[in-house]
């Protein structure tokens, strides 16, 4: 059965949720406070890079099931179910800042139809369902937690083919109504209480971050003992209890979720009288990983930083997205600039105008242009395009012949044949 849905927030989660729910047959009004973003969307222009999203938005708009409005009130006044998909950035003490969620709830409180349901899809700490209830002051409106697990870069695929849907509510009827929105998907629906649903989201992200820090630590050991991390990953990951997912070493983890969510979980634990030392260690190892990459660069030019230029391939926190929020690449670039390097960067989705580019980082238009006169080439994001670039073309444009492949993306032998000294991670 189709429902009337409003989605508050047209970002990575809100826009994907809107387009996918419209695809499943629901009538969706998606709202944002950013008027420019809404006008773009109304004109069919998608403000983010996300595979398959533009097609789904176009399909929804053409069917009449998906529309965009400025402001939450306009969207919420005629809905059965309102999804909150607004930011929950890191607050000063590490906890999640709930002010966007509270504000959105307060905005829609007066206009929500009788017995509507509000669904919290933003990542929020345990107890936030109550926070939303308090902000709404509407006893007839039930609040349900429905955390989102999509990954940027494959958001549409993840939404439409999820590993599970988690719904947290103390009200069985409200939980079932939200669960029915996903009827078109063949997946496991886990219905639980709000605190468990909220914990599942943080625990999942913290565990994935732990896997990444763990494999980066093993990679550091591999370098010391002369082992090859790629073989170690295959050997470890073939064990079904472990699996290969999230066991790829890299420059450190980042993005809009893991850093803030792991800090928020440490704070949640603290408030629950538990010191989450394991997760604190995971964050420390990640910070060390950024420095390990910087040290590789410094060592590659024998410690002589003066007048040296570093070309960086990849600035987003992962391939397939244009998102620079808490990107490991940006963090590493900042540390390189602080050391006195001149840094020039290239990313297929990033221009100089994009928010989040450090002041002293020069953005190039092509992966070859960025290497002109560079002493070291540093690969920080795993864009597939980089694999097909000829090392001999790069060799001609660079001043030095050092490559540091922090994603183990490229073929070492090809680069060595072109005269480069190749360093990967953990091999």
Ligand X SMILES: NC(=O)c1ccc[n+]([C@@H]2O[C@H](COP(=O)([O-])OP(=O)(O)OC[C@H]3O[C@@H](n4cnc5c(N)ncnc54)[C@H](O)[C@@H]3O)[C@@H](O)[C@H]2O)c1
Q: Tell me which residues touch ligand X (CB under 6 A).
A: 8-14, 31-34, 37, 72, 85-88, 100, 103-104, 107, 122-123, 148, 150, 152, 256-257
The least distance separating ligand X from the CB of residue 102, rounded to whole angstroms, comes to 10
Residue closest to ligand X (Cβ): 11
Q: How far is CA 258 from the centre of its chain?
A: 7
Closest to ligand X by CB, 148 vs 347, is 148
Query: What CA–CA distance (Å, rounded) separates 283 from 198?
Result: 21
Residues 6+ apart with CB under 8 A from 140: 114, 115
3-state secondary structure of 24: coil
Task: For CA atoms 36, 320, 260, 30, give the dihedral sign.
Answer: positive
Query: What CA–CA distance (Å, rounded) separates 361 from 254?
Result: 19
Closest to ligand X by CB, 72 vs 129, is 72
Query: What does residue 365 show for φ and ψ, rounded to 5 degrees?
Result: -90, -15
The least distance separating ligand X from the CB of residue 9, rounded to whole angstroms, comes to 3
CB atoms within 10 A of CB 106: 15
- Beta strand ranges found along 179-291 (DSSP E): 188-192
Tokens of 89: 């950035």
Exposed, middle or buried: residue 246 (CB in 10 Å: 0-12, 13-18, 19+)? middle
Closest to ligand X by CB, 124 vs 232, is 124
Tokens of 69: 């409005």
257 classed as catalytic: yes
Of residues 408, 348, 410, 342, the one with CA closest to residue 376: 342
Q: Which of 20, 85, 222, 257 is catalytic?
A: 257
Closest to ligand X by CB, 10 vs 215, is 10
Exposed, middle or buried: residue 35 (CB in 10 Å: 0-12, 13-18, 19+)? exposed
Closest to ligand X by CB, 150 vs 282, is 150
Closest to ligand X by CB, 257 vs 357, is 257
Closest to ligand X by CB, 107 vs 270, is 107
The least distance separating ligand X from the CB of residue 103, rounded to whole angstroms, comes to 5
The least distance separating ligand X from the CB of residue 334, rounded to whole angstroms, comes to 21
Query: What CA–CA distance (Å, rounded) separates 148 from 29?
Result: 19
DSSP state of 187: S
Query: What does residue 200 show for φ and ψ, rounded to 5 degrees?
Result: -55, -45
Residue 146 CA: distances (Å) to CA of 141, 174, 199? 16, 12, 11
Task: For CA atoms 121, 124, 126, 128, give the dihedral sign.
Answer: negative
The least distance separating ligand X from the CB of residue 145, rounded to whole angstroms, comes to 12
The least distance separating ligand X from the CB of residue 54, rounded to whole angstroms, comes to 16
The least distance separating ligand X from the CB of residue 104, rounded to whole angstroms, comes to 4
Query: What CA–CA distance (Å, rounded) separates 3 from 21?
Result: 9
The least distance separating ligand X from the CB of residue 146, rounded to whole angstroms, comes to 11
Residues 6+ apart with CB under 8 A from 30: 6, 7, 10, 14, 15, 18, 41, 66, 67, 68, 69, 75
Active site members: 257
């Amino acid at each position: 059965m189709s429902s009337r849905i409003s989605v508050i927030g047209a970002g990575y989660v809100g826009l994907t949720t809107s387009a996918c729910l419209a695809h499943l047959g629901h009538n969706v009004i998606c709202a944002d406070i950013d008027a420019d973003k809404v006008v773009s969307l109304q004109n069919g222009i998608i403000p983010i890079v996300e595979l398959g999203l533009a097609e789904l938005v176009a399909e929804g708009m053409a069917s009449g099931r998906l529309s965009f409005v400025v402001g939450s009130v306009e969207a919420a006044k005629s809905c059965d179910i309102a999804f909150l998909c607004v930011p929950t950035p890191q607050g000063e003490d590490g906890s999640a800042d709930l002010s966007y969620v509270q504000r959105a709830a307060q905005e829609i409180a007066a206009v929500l139809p009788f017995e509507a349901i509000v669904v919290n899809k933003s990542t929020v700490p345990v107890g936030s369902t109550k926070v939303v209830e308090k902000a709404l002051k509407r006893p007839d409106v039930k609040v349900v937690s429905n955390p989102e697990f999509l990954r940027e870069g494959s958001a549409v695929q993840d939404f439409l083919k999820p590993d599970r849907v988690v719904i947290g509510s103390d009200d069985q009827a409200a939980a079932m109504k939200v669960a029915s929105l996903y009827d078109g998907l063949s997946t496991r629906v886990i219905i639980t209480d709000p605190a468990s649903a909220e914990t599942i989201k943080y625990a999942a992200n913290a565990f994935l971050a732990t896997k990444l820090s763990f494999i980066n630590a093993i990679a550091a050991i591999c370098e010391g003992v002369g082992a090859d991390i790629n073989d170690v990953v295959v050997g470890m990951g073939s064990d079904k209890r472990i699996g290969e997912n999230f066991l790829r070493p890299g420059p450190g983890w980042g993005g809009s979720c893991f850093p803030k969510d792991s800090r928020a979980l440490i704070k949640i634990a603290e408030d629950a009288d538990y010191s989450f030392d394991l997760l604190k260690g995971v964050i420390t190892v990640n910070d060390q990983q950024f420095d390990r990459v910087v040290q590789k660069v410094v060592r590659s030019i024998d410690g002589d930083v003066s007048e040296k230029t570093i070309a960086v391939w990849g600035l987003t926190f992962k391939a397939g997205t244009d998102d620079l929020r808490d990107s490991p690449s940006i963090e590493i670039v900042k540390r390189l600039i602080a050391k006195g390097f001149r840094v020039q960067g290239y990313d297929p989705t990033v221009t100089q105008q994009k928010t989040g580019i450090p002041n002293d980082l020069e953005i190039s238009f092509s992966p070859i242009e960025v290497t002109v006169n560079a002493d070291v080439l540093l690969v920080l994001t795993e864009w597939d395009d980089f694999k097909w670039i000829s090392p001999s073309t790069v060799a001609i444009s660079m001043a030095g012949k050092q490559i540091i492949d922090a994603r183990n993306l490229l073929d070492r032998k090809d680069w060595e044949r072109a005269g480069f000294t190749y360093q990967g991670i953990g091999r």
